[in-house]
Amino acid sequence: MEQEKAIIIENLTKLYGKHVGVRNLNLTVNKGEIMGFLGPNGAGKTTTIRSSLALISKTAGKITIFGMDSHRDSVEIRKKMGYLPGDFGLISSVKVRSYIKYLLSLSNYPSTKKMTSLAERLELDIDRKTNELSKGNKQKVGIVQALMADQDLIIMDEPTAGLDPLMQQEFYRILREEQKQGKTIFMASHNLAEVEKVCDRVAIIREGHLEVVEKIQSLQEKTGKVLEVEFSDAISVDEFQIRGVSEIQEDDGKLTLTIHENLDDVIEAVSRHRILNMNLRTYSLEQLFLKYYTEENRKRGVA
């Protein structure tokens, strides 16, 4: 049975004069999923979001949200969604509590309970004035206002910008709880590791073109984790020819390999030697693009 769609974007094109914001972009977001929208800065993520919300006009294409036209029915759509823009700003010199209560009053959600709970979990002091807040705390205000009215759809543009790692983890927990309550979340990011942590699927955009839409599990199987190890004794690359391991490189005792599966076997092989340094990390966004473009060029017969 096909999943019900929260957002359907068909052939979206946005031009800024001769510059392409996005071109012929097609994307659907299923109800109840956390969808990551991944790409480097300037790739077209914000243009897609702002076009979808009728904050800017589109050059061509059609966008529906909960079955309603994104431009014609924008007021009705806003009643069902929360939004955190990438350039979220605050009115200066007002108490945070007063500011977010005012924003809450514009919705149909009467209770301040969720607002207060979110602020506490994010360690946001809502009795401070907006001009006294750090960048991270300003971002927390943005997160609270996007989630506090308990809407069905949450759209966020780079939501963890300025948050420290502990607050990022708490934010991810909040998103998962929202999803369990049936909410749909569309989240733009340039951080692959972040998207992997919390999203069900990811759409990857580059230079205004949608390159791929994948389930996170499928994406992880294609990319894997990168292990970097520096040894103090001699090693042989053959030792690491293990099923699920690829892209093995060795340079003067420094080993780099990509692990898709059988991590335990790799760690066992590494542990037979004296280790100076070791780092396990996710693919970088740049590596991910390079991998996809290399594969695509190979299919096309391009050198």
pLDDT at 289: 66
Q: What is the CATH number of the domain that holds 277?
A: 3.30.70
pLDDT confidence of residue 296: 55
**Domain co-membership, 183 together with 74:** yes
Whether residues 90 and 212 share a domain: the answer is: yes
Confidence (pLDDT) at 303: 47
Residue entry with tokens 């389930």: 215
Shared domain check, 243 and 132: no
pTM for the whole structure: 0.82
Distances in whole angstroms, Cα of residue 11 to Cα of each of 31, 63, 98, 180: 20, 9, 41, 31
pLDDT in tens, the chain (303 residues): 678 999 999 999 999 998 999 999 999 999 999 999 998 888 999 999 999 999 999 999 999 999 999 999 999 999 999 999 998 989 888 999 999 999 999 888 889 999 999 999 999 999 999 999 999 999 999 999 999 999 999 999 999 999 999 999 999 999 999 999 999 999 999 888 788 889 999 999 988 999 889 998 887 777 778 899 999 998 989 999 999 888 899 988 899 998 888 889 999 999 999 999 999 887 766 666 666 655 555 555 544
Residues 176 and 253 in one domain: no
Let me know whether 96 and 239 are in one domain.
Answer: no
Last residue of a domain, one of 192, 220, 248: 220
Helices and strands per DSSP (H, E), number in the chain: 10, 14
Closest of 205, 201, 215, 195 to residue 25, by C-alpha: 205
Residue at which a domain ends, from 177, 203, 220: 220
139 lies in some domain:
yes
Domains contained in the chain, number? 2
Q: C-alpha distances in angstroms, 261 versus 57, 113, 217, 242, 243?
A: 45, 44, 12, 9, 7
Look at residue 74 in the predicted model and tell me its pLDDT.
Answer: 93
Asked whether residue 87 falls in the same domain as residue 231, the answer is: no
Instruction: Dig out the tokens for 160 from the structure.
Output: 């963890």
User: How many angstroms separate the CA atoms of 121 and 135, rounded?
Assistant: 17
Same domain, 86 and 166: yes
Tell me how crowded residue 177 is: count the other CB atoms within 10 A of its CB.
Answer: 12
114 and 231: one domain? no
Q: What pLDDT score does 290 carry?
A: 65
- Tell me the residue range of the domain where 121 lies: 5-220
The reply to whether 28 and 120 lie within a common domain is yes
